Amino acid sequence: MQQLTYKIHLHKEEEGGYTVIVPALPGCITWGEDIEQATAMAREAIEGYIATLKDMGEPRYKWLAGTPNH
């Protein structure tokens, strides 16, 4: 399986911390106290998003995970 890279949008919140949105994955949003934690949470959210699609039998998970469609 190849490793894919997803762009994330980091938004600094007025009350502190960062909201992270993954534009390629609708509804994939998370949060972290600093950029390092927000980035780690985004990685976890992406992995969970793709795993959920796989568990649901959604065929596009292979494309999102970088798995060949054989």
- What's the mean pLDDT in 15-25? 96
Confidence of residue 70 (pLDDT cuts 50, 70, 90): very low
Task: Tell me the residue type at 70.
Answer: H
The CB density around residue 8, as the number of other CB atoms within 10 Å, is 21
Closest CA to 10 of 25, 26, 22, 1: 22
Residue 61 tokens, joined:
């998970």
Taking 80 as the threshold, does the pLDDT of residue 54 lie above it? yes
Average pLDDT over residues 49-64: 79
Average pLDDT over residues 8-29: 96
Higher pLDDT, 19 or 55: 19
